[in-house]
Amino acid sequence: MSMKLIIAIVHSDDAQGVVSEISMAGYSATKLSTTGGFMRAGNTTLLIGVEEEQVDSVIELIGKRAHSHKQVVSGFPGRSEGSVSSVPFEVNVGGATVFVVDVDKFVKL
C-alpha cells in the first residue's frame, strides 16, 4: 500500500470547514498558516497523509468546503506605488490548490 501526502492550499475563511469535514471522515490533517506569493495575504495550507486509494475521496471532501473567492489586489505585488500596475484589480482565488506527492516513509515515534 502506498501512502500519499495531500498538500492543499485553501482560503483561510474556508480552512476550518475543510478541516472539520476531513476530521469527521476520520482523516488526520495539519493546518499551517501560510502566505500566498502573489496576493501576499494569508491563506491556509493543509497537510493530509492518506493511503493512495483515499486520495480522491479526500479531494472531494476538500471541494465540498473550499470555495473560490474574488479578491481585490491593490496593485501588482512588488511594484512601487504610483505606477500603472498599482491600480487595484480583482483576482479569482481558487477554491483549493492541491498537490499530491508520494511519501517514501511514514513513522510515528
| Contact mark string toward ligand 2BA, 34..53, x via CB under 6 A | --xxxx---x----------
Per the rule left: phi > 0, alpha: psi between -120 and 50, beta: everything else, 88 is: beta
Taking the least distance from each CB to ligand 2BA, the nearer of 51 and 89 is 89
| 100: nearest Cα among 47, 24, 61 | 47
Q: Is 54 in the site for ligand 2BA (CB under 6 A)?
A: no
Q: Is 87 in the site for ligand 2BA (CB under 6 A)?
A: no
User: What is the rounded CA–CA span in Å between residue 20 and residue 63?
Assistant: 13
Q: Summarize as ranges the residues that interact with ligand 2BA (CB under 6 A).
A: 9, 36-39, 43, 91-94, 97
